[in-house]
């Protein structure tokens, strides 16, 4: 009987944000994904992003909450909507939330009709999401089996400063595999050449992607996804969104901020110029030059206790199918939602505008 009550207990233990807002989050990401899906393959990445942003903002402003964008489209002078610091929601009710959004993660993927684009967002109580600057984060993302292995073997841990071989061997032991069987997802960028060489020299397999390493990071905690570890540097916002899902799923993220000029091995002059431009903003966030290299773990990236996450496929990816548009205004989309209680849902939504001309089909 006790086992039968577990799911009831999880439902009751869900925080107010999860109880009240998670069911509505599906509508937010799905609306943005459908808006973007109409631009798949049209070669206009900026317009695809624009319509996704506009749709997501309209849906957010229909929710009974007081929300603040902590990770969004950029600074206010560069982003007219969903900019960092923008307040969204109706302002009604008792819920106050911090929000991380990426209305279209994979603008190039959408424009070119390539797999892996999503609409994604996360929410938490105020202070529950890392409020970082718009720079890169160097990161390692692994699944829950690795976390379990580390607990059972305190002397063996993945380490952002350790050789690639060290980290891959720990992941292999945790998954009861050989290193040669591991698949490492990494962005195909010139800055990653040395890292890619190290991974291949270790015997592991590299899965190079052109954009969008957020969902591969989430996939490390989903068995059968074919992704065992994500490495490399990418956007800090994407790292926080990944961490939100990974925290719920029991995985682990290690990350640290890095200036794009440093990550891309630019000249000393370029690095100094970027420091002059970005360090003042970093310092306002409490990040000084001497501690910019501080390693941030999952809890530091997402310290919140009532965290929710949703992602909807725009083009097909690891485990989310892309949006299927049919009829006049009809669509079918695939979404994953999850909350701190541990409840994870896969939703297959069909939007039918005209029931007479577009009958519901199972397949």
- In DSSP notation, 220-272 reads TTSTTSS--EEEEEEEHHHHHHHHHHHHHHT-EEEEEEE-HHHHTT--HHHHH
For residues 339 and 25, the answer to whether their CB atoms sit within 8 Å is: no
Tell me: do 209 and 290 sit in the same domain. Answer: yes
Residues 71-121 have pLDDT tens digits of 998 776 567 899 989 999 999 999 999 999 999 999 999 999 999 999 999
Tell me: do 282 and 325 sit in the same domain. Answer: no
Tell me: do 106 and 84 sit in the same domain. Answer: yes
User: Which pLDDT belongs to residue 88?
Assistant: 97
Tell me 330's DSSP state. E
Tell me: do 147 and 199 sit in the same domain. Answer: yes
Q: Which residue range is the domain that position 96 belongs to?
A: 3-127+305-351
Tell me: do 171 and 270 sit in the same domain. Answer: yes
177, two tokens:
């595999």
User: Which pLDDT belongs to residue 76?
Assistant: 62
User: Which pLDDT belongs to residue 353?
Assistant: 81
**Residues forming a β-bridge with 208:** 186
Tell me: do 220 and 168 sit in the same domain. Answer: yes
For residue 202, the domain's CATH number is 3.40.190.90
User: Which pLDDT belongs to residue 354?
Assistant: 76
Domains identified in the chain, total number? 2
Tell me: do 253 and 334 sit in the same domain. Answer: no
User: Which pLDDT belongs to residue 284?
Assistant: 78
Tell me: do 64 and 145 sit in the same domain. Answer: no
Tell me: do 27 and 176 sit in the same domain. Answer: no
Tell me: do 174 and 297 sit in the same domain. Answer: yes
Report yes or no on 191 lying in a domain.
Answer: yes
User: Which pLDDT belongs to residue 78?
Assistant: 67
Report yes or no on 194 lying in a domain.
Answer: yes
Q: How much is the pTM?
A: 0.94
Query: What are the average pLDDT values for consecutive 10-residue runs of the chain, which has 363 residues?
Result: 68 89 96 97 96 97 96 76 94 96 96 96 97 87 97 95 97 97 97 97 97 95 94 95 97 95 93 88 79 92 98 93 86 96 93 77 66
């Amino acid at each position: 009987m006790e086992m039968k009550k577990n799911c009831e207990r999880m439902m009751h233990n869900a925080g107010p944000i999860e109880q009240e807002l998670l069911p509505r989050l599906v509508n937010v990401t799905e609306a943005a994904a459908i808006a973007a899906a109409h631009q798949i393959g049209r070669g206009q990445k900026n317009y695809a992003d624009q319509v996704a942003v506009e749709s997501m903002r309209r849906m957010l402003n229909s929710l009974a909450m007081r929300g603040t964008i902590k990770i969004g489209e950029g600074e206010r002078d560069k982003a007219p909507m969903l900019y960092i610091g923008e307040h969204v929601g109706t302002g009604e009710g008792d819920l106050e939330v911090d929000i991380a959004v990426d209305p279209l993660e994979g603008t190039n993927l959408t424009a070119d009709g390539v797999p892996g684009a999503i609409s994604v967002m996360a929410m938490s109580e105020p202070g529950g999401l890392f409020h970082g600057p718009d720079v890169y984060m160097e990161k390692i993302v692994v699944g829950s089996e690795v976390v379990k292995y580390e607990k059972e073997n305190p002397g063996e841990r993945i380490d952002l400063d350790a050789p690639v071989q060290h980290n891959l061997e720990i992941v292999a032991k945790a998954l009861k595999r050989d290193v040669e069987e591991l698949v490492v997802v990494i962005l195909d960028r010139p800055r990653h050449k040395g890292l890619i060489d190290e991974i291949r020299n270790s015997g592991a397999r590299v899965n190079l992607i052109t954009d969008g390493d957020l969902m591969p990071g989430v996939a490390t905690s989903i068995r059968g996804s074919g992704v065992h570890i994500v490495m490399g540097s990418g956007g800090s916002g994407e790292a926080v969104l990944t961490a939100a899902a990974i925290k719920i799923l029991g995985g682990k993220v290690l990350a640290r901020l890095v200036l794009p000029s440093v990550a891309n091995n630019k000249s000393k002059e370029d690095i100094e110029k970027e420091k002059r431009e970005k360090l003042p903003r970093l310092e306002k966030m409490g990040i000084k030059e001497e501690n910019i290299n501080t390693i941030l773990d999952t809890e530091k990236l997402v310290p919140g206790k009532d965290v929710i996450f949703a992602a909807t496929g725009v083009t097909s990816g690891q485990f989310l199918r892309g949006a299927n548009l049919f009829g006049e205004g009809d669509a079918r989309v695939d979404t994953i939602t999850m909350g701190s209680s541990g409840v994870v849902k896969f939703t297959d939504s069909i939007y039918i505008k005209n029931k007479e001309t577009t009958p519901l089909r199972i397949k």
